[in-house]
Amino acid sequence: AEAKVLFSVVGMTCAACAGSVEKAIKRLPGIREAAVDVLNGRAQVIFFPDFINEETIRETIDDVGFEATLIP
Ligand code: 9UX
């Protein structure tokens, strides 16, 4: 099974940083797809819940230097 989540990402205003966020997510295990929308401050991620959870993904975005919040 796979799951899809959407995060709000605060402070991500340039394309380079959006690329860094996307790369960091895609490096994680259990990720199928990550799409970062810099204009809207969103990151959509498709992942395999057997291998990774949304909190780990959220913390990874934080580690790149931005504040990510799961959008329910
Ligand atoms: Mo970027 Mo930032 O490379 O305020 S989103 S610098």
Pocket perturbation via mutation, ligand 1, pick of 9, 17, 37 by most ligand atoms within 8 A of CB: 17
What is the per-residue pLDDT for 46?
98
Q: How confident is the model at residue 13 (pLDDT cuts 50, 70, 90)?
A: very high
Cβ neighbourhood burial of 28 (10 Å; 0-12, 13-18, 19+): middle
What is the per-residue pLDDT for 63?
98
φ/ψ of residue 50, rounded to 5: -70, -20
Q: Kindly list the strands in the beta sheet with 31-37, ordered across the sheet, starting from the edge strand earlier in the chain.
A: 31-37, 42-47, 3-10, 67-71
Q: State the average pLDDT for the chain.
A: 98
Residues with CB under 6 A from ligand 1: 11-14, 16-17
State whether residue 62 is helix, strand or coil. Answer: helix
Q: How far is residue 33's CA from residue 39's CA, in Å, rounded to a whole number?
A: 19
Q: How confident is the model at residue 53 (pLDDT cuts 50, 70, 90)?
A: very high
25-40 per-position pLDDT tens digit: 999 999 999 999 999 9
